Chain A
Amino acid sequence: AQSVTQLDSQVPVFEEAPVELRCNYSSSVSVYLFWYVQYPNQGLQLLLKYLSGSTLVKGINGFEAEFNKSQTSFHLRKPSVHISDTAEYFCAVSDRGDYKLSFGAGTTVTVRA
C-alpha cells in the first residue's frame, strides 16, 4: 500500500493570498491521485483528481494540482483563497488496479481576513 505524506499539518493564510499544500507518496508505480476537502462537520468532497494525461489538473473552487512523477508529488495550489476555503484537505493515492485509497494525515487551512 502507498504511504502518503502531507508535509504541512496546518497552513494559516490571509484572504486573497496564494496557498500551496504539499503531498508526496511513496511508490512510483502507476497511481491515481486525489485531493479531497472536508469542511467543518461535513464529509469528504472530491476536489480534483489525476488519472492520466496532462500533469496539471484543475478542480472545483479554483484549485489545481500538478503531478510530478519523478518527485512522486501531487501538490495542490490556489492562487487566491477565500474565507470559505477554510477546511481540512486530504491527499489520497491508489495504485492503478487497486482502488483502495491511502490517505495523508490532512492539512488544515485557516483563511483569515
Chain B
Amino acid sequence: EPEVTQTPSHQVTQMGQEVILRCVPISNHLYFYWYRQILGQKVEFLVSFYNNEISEKSEIFDDQFSVERPDGSNFTLKIRSTKLEDSAMYFCASSTGDTQYFGPGTRLTVL
C-alpha cells in the first residue's frame, strides 16, 4: 500500500538555524499539506499546496516558512530561522481531494 514518507524522523537544531523537512507524497496525489503538533496541543494546519503553488495558508505560516516541490516527487517545508516555539511534530499529508493521508512525522527540536 502506498504511503507518505518523511525525513528525517527527528531533527535537532539551534535557534536561528534553517531547517528543511522533507516529504514524499503518494505518487498520484495532487494536493499536499503540512500540519504541526506542538507537544500537548492540537494538530494545526499550516499550508496546502496544489498545482505548484500555495492554495491556502494559516496565520502560523508566516514569512519564516516556505514550501517547495523541487523535483516532482519531494515536497519540502523550510523554516528559515528557527525559534524555540517551532519545536513540534511536523506532519506531511497528501490527497487526491477529500481524504488526506499522513506521513509518520518529523519531530523538530529547537535548542
Distance in angstroms from B16 CB to nearest chain A CB is 28
Binds A, one of B65-73, B74-82, B90-98: B90-98
- Complex: A32 Cα to B99 Cα, angstroms: 9
- Complex: A34 Cα to B35 Cα, angstroms: 16
Is A17 at the interface (CB under 8 A from chain B)? Answer: no
Indicate if the CB atoms of B56 and A45 lie closer than 8 Å.
no
Indicate if the CB atoms of A99 and B102 lie closer than 8 Å.
no
0/1 per residue, A49-87, Cβ < 8 Å to B?
Answer: 101000000000000000000000000000000000000
Set B4, B97, B99: member contacting A34, Cβ < 8 A: B99
Indicate if the CB atoms of A100 and B103 lie closer than 8 Å.
no
Indicate if the CB atoms of B48 and A99 lie closer than 8 Å.
yes
Is B60 at the interface (CB under 8 A from chain A)? Answer: no
Q: If A49-B99, A99-B98, A103-B43 touch, does A43 touch B91 (CB 8 Å cutoff)?
A: yes
B residues near A (Cβ < 8 Å) are 4, 6, 31, 33, 35, 41-45, 48, 56, 58, 91, 93, 95, 97-105
A residues near B (Cβ < 8 Å) are 32, 34, 36, 42-46, 49, 51, 90, 92, 94, 98-106
17 contacts between A and B (CB under 8 A): A44-B102, A44-B105, A46-B99, A51-B98, A51-B99, A92-B43, A99-B98, A99-B100, A100-B48, A101-B100, A103-B35, A103-B42, A103-B44, A104-B42, A105-B41, A105-B42, A106-B42
